[in-house]
Structure 1
Amino acid sequence: MKSAKLERTDGTGCHVPLSARLRVLLPLPLADSYDYKNVINKPALPPGSFVLVPLGRRQVIGVVWDDAPDPDLPDARLRSIESVIDVPPMTATLRRFVDWVAAYTLSTRGAVLRMAMSTPSALEPRAPQVGWRRAPHPPEGARITPPRRRVLDVLAEGEGRAGGEIAGAAAVAPAILRGMADAGLIEPALLPRHPAFALPDPARSGPALGPEQDVAAAALRAAVQRREFSTTLLTGVTGSGKTEVYFEAVAACLAQGRQALVLLPEIALSTQWLDRFRGRFGTAPALWHSELTSRTRRETWRVVAEGEAPVLVGARSALFLPYPDLGLIVVDEEHETAFKQEEGVVYHARDMAVVRARLSNAACVLASATPSLESTNNAATGRYAGVHLPARHGGAALPDVALIDLRRTPPERGRFLSPPLVAAVTETLARGEQAMLFLNRRGYAPMTLCRTCGHRLRCPNCTAWLVEHRAQRRLQCHHCGHVEAPPEACPECGTAHSTVPIGPGVERVLEEATALWPEARRLVMASDTIPGPAAAGAAAQAIQRREVDLIIGTQIVAKGWHFPHLTLVGVVDADLGLAGGDLRAAERTFQLLHQVAGRAGREEHRGHVLLQSFAPEHAVMQALVSGDVDAFMEAEADDRRPGHWPPFGRLAALIVSAEDERAAERTARDLGLAAPGGEGVEVLGPAPAPLAILRGRHRRRLLLKTRRDIAVQPLLEAWLAKVVVPGNVRVQVDVDPVGFL
């Protein structure tokens, strides 16, 4: 890679004093930084400088770190910094954040740094932008045709403009410009770099806020204006206007000239959110997510570092961008498990957002209609401030929620929609209103088995059933991505055409809905059918234009959508998330179904929600009917407190995996024998993980459980130091796990 500045070393090999040594952290899975000679023609390189250094036979870009040089390292072993990269240095705040995340998650600092340097091309020098301008001394007698006259008129101001811009404004072909250049009428010109993002206008008036929203907005504005760390939990019923309220905090941050970051759990599905942002601030914010082109990511990283992106909305990785002066972080839908990164450096973006805000002297806002028990407890104990919006904005009423007992009114044989739900959808469509059927399961059927021998089709790489996707004629594993064609005969007994689908997915619900309501215009909203922002935007517009009568969706329909004509939500399987014995199963099921229910009746027509359940007496179902979020969370807290389960205790998981089952088993056994003990400390396992094989690797889990006042990181470090882990075995540490697969 070419660096912007190449300043060679002196190469004398003389003694290098400590003042001329620098520690450089590299974006590799390395725990420590390395000493290098600083013999570049500068008195000193400040910490945070991006530098090109030799590592073995290659060159790597690293960051000058705050670590002290090693005085015992002999000069002969030192190598020299090759060059300095001409970009703004990494701020002290971001360097401290990298160190903090690494220490908390027990990851190597280099692995965390790599997340902060996720776009290496952003460190390359910008290519100059070249356009055309009028030649100051055009040759006499040059032929001026009407197209050429239009070009000269466009360039009459004397400033250079891009060729495409000129050709468009003058309505000429690019060949005209080349001919004019050959004739000496125009000449190349370096173009000034224009801001990549327009400045949002904090003074632009937004939608009128109600009295309760005004109070909440004033509290958030005050938190931002103090220019010091704080965390506020913003709660409120679905449709209460939480987004408009925290937009006022964004406006206060912009008025101070600081940057604001908004984290969304599904950035690819943020179309309606972006429309609301443009309506409030007059322009779109900068975006950061995995679907951006490499060019956009490069430019966005650079303008963030230069302070030219006042507001950025992004996925969890946006936490690691190089903001020079971050004044506000908003975590929308803070309860969502999508904020937890499960691969590589394992961290929870909600918790790390609070840390980054503290290091930045910034305000942090956690927003949700169904907050996590962790955040609820932090607000109850005074660690967080709390702001609540008890009513829907604009006078809209909360939906009525009712249960359908599938034991008493089951669906017809071979069907999955009960008679009461079918009748409700029929009546809703007859009134010209929109309905939604919700099932948090992709595909046609979650399992396929042989009716002759009972064999179930399983993923060859995972302990998971293959999901049938009938529309694409494939069986797929939703954990590793393995795909195969449906078999003509059972692979176990050989009986032809004997496999049958078991259970419903959204495709099967669509099939049933097509038979029941053939005239209804239907739309399936799942990650298979809504792969990104463009598809999400098209779907939202079609629903808002009333080109869709019946929406059939998975969990992506629960996140922040506003469909003004949707009045009925039917949940096909309300019990789905309660199985499996997960610590947070009840909490997650309540959060998901409460959010889904909140899509109904958000404007003048009252909404209705029907939950199909085989266990209507379950506490989750009763809480959904009552709509009392606080009572449900109090009951959850009462269940967890006696056993010191989070948030009243600490958890950390060790996941042992290997392609060789015996190697995984031996390492897990050794870890179990070396497990820490003592008062308030308990280790559960080792035991096979629920997904005992994942992507071809055998997995075992151990769970460290402690009282809240016991730090788990020192226990984990001492524990891992006692066991030699073979090279073919991987041990992943998950501090504060949210899932247990």
Structure 2
Amino acid sequence: MNRVRLLVFNPVLNVLDYRVPDGMATPLGALVVAPLGPRQVLGIVWEPDQLEGEAVADSRLRPLLEVLPVPPIPAPLRRLIEWTADYYCAPLNAVARMMLGPMAALRGGGTATEYRLTGVEPARLTPQRAAALDALQGEQASIRELAELASVSDGVLRGMVSAGMLEAVTVDLDRPYPRANPKHAAPDLSDEQAAAADTFVAAVRDGGFQPFLLDGVTGSGKTECYFEAVAEALNTGKQVLVLLPEIALTENFLRRFEARFGVPPVLWHSGLKQSERRRAWRAIVAGQAQVVVGARSALFLPYARLGLIVVDEAHEVSFKQDDGVRYNARDVAVIRARFEGIPVILASATPALESLQLAESGVYRKIDLPSRFGGAELPDIQIVDLRSEAPERGHWLSPRLVRELKLRLERGEQSLLFLNRRGYAPLTLCRHCGYRFQCPNCTAWLVEHRLSRRLACHHCGHEVPVPDACPECHTPDCLVACGPGVERIADEVAEIMPDARVAIVTSDTLNTPEKIGEFVAAAEEKLIDVIVGTQLVTKGYHFPELTLVGVVDADLGLEGGDLRAAERTYQQVAQVAGRAGRGEKPGEVLIQTRHPEATVIAALAAGDRDAFYAAEAEARRDAGAPPFGRWAAIIVSSEDEAEARDAARAIGGTRPNLPDVMILGPAPAPLSLLRGRYRYRLLINARRSAQLQDVIRQWLGGLKFPPGVRVGVDIDPYSFV
């Protein structure tokens, strides 16, 4: 009998055996539909010896129903799925699910109906229709997607269709993408850039697994270097994947890509419409999508002819997923390149310590770009000691920083103020009774956002209007904002420089590619004098007239007990400093701090990155921390606090006693309540010789928990909250 073993997409089951009907072809990697009880389930034909499961007698096998009309999942991707599941202690089918597109993409062919504005505008409009008209300018999507964009009901839009305000458009779901031209606008590279580009081009031409660390200072032209490798891949008919850490960086990258290759790349991220995701997925599996630019989830897509992977801003924490399958896309990208037998380029001005260590040990080949392109100089960095140069009472900008801001405004130059804290103030309290506004779902204060007039939790999204009186003592006009956020800094700039044009740049204000594009265009056209932003502005942007960067509170990232706090602070401040002086005019950076003697602050002031990394490496070595040791976390959560505590204690009580593994906890997590779930954590510190994943699997494998308890494993954690 012809039988197959499937990896099935079912939350309870992983592996099932089925009979193959006569005449049905089921190559390894084929996507199939199979019966499961009264329902149908999607599965992938897998190597039987790679999936654990008890064999079922031939007589009990049910027949497969259908083989879906998409190419089989290639063997290198199947091996990557297995490796990721094994390394990150995740269910195999949860990892495999990340390589699937929308279910409609698996069927193929056909058309879809989308809607767009006609330009017809009745004399009288309801408030909902007026809001939809404003929100949907230039948009085309399904009724449901348009309703989400406009924050109105489907019924409002269907009424607009009847009124002639929206028209239906038939869209070919599989229409091809325009072809990129590798010779469209070849750049004029410096000698340093040309040498780096030649190395990458040769690696793409020769093929084979070759991992590179492209270590270049901000403004050195790293993108132009790896674009030459992209061009070589296009010349040889290979596909390219470029991973970006933030969707916010996509718009800027698209413009640079289109200028170089004549057309935009294919996008893949969570902000795409379903029809766009469907079209992109089918073009990727067919090999028609030449260059795919996306967030970390693009890493698992089933490319037909992958020839190069680029991870831009490879140091970014955003590449680490903190829920579901907790993987680091930077590291998995290198593993995928190894399975595919292709080059991979990790590009960064501030590489992760782990990447530098792998380069020093010879695992990665390090390519340096130590100078800025076009003769531009690195900015002059100065420290402002807030203990001796304190801001005025009720203000957050030091007198020196205020003077420099005013000087730039007089010169017609741009300034950037960086504070990695969204909203107006991180805490709001009652000056009469001391009541503090706290999220009911999380162990966190509600953050005041004056632009939206809301108090919001940045962890679960809970929002309430700012009340007129204290909810505890009912005293009116008694609420006080404590501490600064970017909105408060923007207000201070408006107070000291009323003529300055100020832009607030956060994930709240730039939450769509269109808004990001408008901001970039306004900054480039010098319609903005002062940019006030969070980490969203620390990377990827190039504004030639920006000559001053002020770091409002460099100590903020050093708080909270994050075991990578110093490295992360160095990376953020160095990246935002790199926005200054990227054109012909010299740049200056003022770093406000109360701890100028801290190692990270001193290294930033001296411009001595190597000294900082050497000190950080020594501290990590002494602590047995990555890259010299291993970390893992076990996170236990439940909606019932006692249930979570008891489950955590049960795990702690059965901990293994091994000489090369140290286990700390369980203890309540710093965010002990998150999204309505009570949380406990255990932290594991192991030597590199320890088989950490095997230890965890054996430890947790024999334990049973109540249905309401979730137990998550985080290998190489970045978040400790």
* Same-fold call, TM cutoff 0.5: yes
**Alignment partner of 1:25 is 2:7:** yes
1:559-616 deviation line (CA, Å, top 9, x unaligned): 2100011000111111110001111000000100100000001010000011111111
1:254 corresponds to which residue? 234
Q: Which residue of 2 aligns with 1:560?
A: 540
Distance 2:566 2:315 in 1: 13
Shift in CA distance, 356/632, structure 1 to aligned 2, threshold 3 Å: same
* CA-to-aligned-CA distance 1:697-718 (integer Å, 9 cap, x gap): 1100001111112221100001
Task: Give the C-alpha shift of residue 103 in structure 1.
Answer: 1.2
Q: 1:62 — aligned with what?
A: 43
Aligned to 1:728: 708
263, 270, 286: which one pairs with 2:266? 286
Q: Does 1:121 align with 2:104?
A: yes
Mapped to 1, the partners of 2:581 and 2:44 lie a distance apart of 53
Q: Quick one: distance in 1 between partners of 2:604 and 2:12?
A: 48
Query: Contact (CA 8 Å) 1:469, 1:475: kept in 2 or not?
Result: yes
1:413 counterpart = 2:393: yes
1:240 equivalent to 2:257? Answer no
Alignment of 1:613-632 (within 5 A): 613-632=593-612
The two structures have a TM-score, normalised by structure 1, of 0.87
Asked whether 1:271 is paired with 2:251, we answer yes
Aligned match of 1:648: 628
Is the CA contact 1:224–1:363 (under 8 Å) kept in the aligned structure 2?
yes
Task: Give the match's secondary structure for 1:270.
Answer: helix
Do the aligned residues in 1 keep the contact of 2:501 with 2:527 (CA within 8 Å)?
yes
Preserved contact between residue 17 and residue 55 of structure 2 (Cα < 8 Å): no
Deviations 1:238-275 (A, max 9, x none): 00000001111111222221111000011233222111
Q: Offset at 1:30?
A: 4.7
Identity of aligned residues (%): 52
Q: How many residue pairs are counted as aligned between the two chains?
A: 663
Matched letter for residue 26 of structure 1: V
* Cα displacement (A) at 1:67: 1.7
Aligned to 1:466: 446
**Displacement, 1:665?**
0.8
Q: Which amino acid aligns with 2:425?
A: A
Q: Which residue of 2 aligns with 1:75?
A: 58
Structure 2: 5+ residue stretches without partners: 114-169
The separation in 2 between residues aligned to 1:364 and 1:462, in whole angstroms, is 40
Q: Paired residue for 1:84?
A: 67
Report the CA distance between 1:31 and its aligned residue. 6.0
Q: CA deviation at 1:192?
A: 10
- Structure 2: which amino acid aligns with 1:117? L
Partners of 1:25 and 1:33 within 8 A in 2: yes
Distance 1:125 1:272, change over 3 A: closer
The answer to which of 422-431 and 665-674 deviates more is 665-674
Q: Structure 1's 488 and 715: CA in aligned 2 closer, same or farther, altered over 3 A?
A: same
Instruction: Kindly state the Cα deviation for residue 494 of structure 1 after the two structures are TM-superposed.
Output: 3.6
Counterparts of 2:697 and 2:204, CA distance in 1? 38
Kept in 2: contact 1:674–1:722 (CA 8 A) = no
Whichever residue aligns with residue 101 of structure 1, its letter is T
Match of 1:426 in 2: 406
User: Is the 8 Å Cα contact of residues 101 and 277 (structure 2) preserved in structure 1?
Assistant: no
Question: Cα–Cα, structure 1 residues 623 and 192, in superposed 2: closer, same or farther, change >3 Å?
Answer: closer
Matches within 5 A, 1:62-461: 62-68=43-49, 72-127=55-110, 196-461=176-441
1:539 partnered with 2:519: yes
For 1:721 and 1:270, locate their aligned partners in 2 and report how far apart those are by CA, in whole Å: 41
**Aligned counterparts of 2:476 and 2:111: Cα–Cα separation in 1:** 65
SS of residue paired to 1:79: coil
Structure-1 separation of matches of 2:701 and 2:660: 21
Report the equivalent of 1:49: 30
SS of 1:59's equivalent in the other structure is: strand
Output the amino acid matched with 1:695: R
- CA distance in structure 2 between the partners assigned to 1:531 and 1:128 by the alignment: 29
Q: 1:715 is matched with which residue?
A: 695
Q: Which 4+ runs in 1 deviate beyond 6 A? A: 190-194
In structure 1, list runs of 5 or more residues that go unmatched: 1-16, 131-189
- Partners of 1:646 and 1:104 in 2: CA distance: 16
The whole-number CA distance in structure 2 between the counterparts of 1:52 and 1:271 is 38
Q: Which amino acid aligns with 1:417?
A: L
Tell me which residue corresponds to 1:157.
none
In structure 1, distance between residues paired with 2:326 and 2:10: 16
* Structure ID, larger Rg: 1
Deviation at 1:193? 9.4
The structural deviation recorded for 1:729 is 0.7
Q: Is the 8 A contact 1:31 1:109 kept in 2?
A: no
Q: Which amino acid aligns with 2:41?
A: V
The TM-score, its normalising length taken from structure 2, stands at 0.90
1:648-667 deviations in whole A, cap 9, x for unaligned? 00111100001111111111
Amino acid at match of 1:658: S
What SS does the aligned partner of 1:472 have?
coil
**Distance apart, 1:51 and its partner CA:** 1.1
Q: Which amino acid aligns with 1:449?
A: L
* CA distance in 2 between partners of 1:129 and 1:633 (Å): 53
2:666 maps to 686
What is the distance in 2 between the residues matched to 1:521 and 1:66?
Answer: 62
2: CA distance, partners of 1:466 / 1:119: 36
Mark the CA change 1:497 to 1:129 in structure 2 (over 3 Å): closer, same or farther.
closer
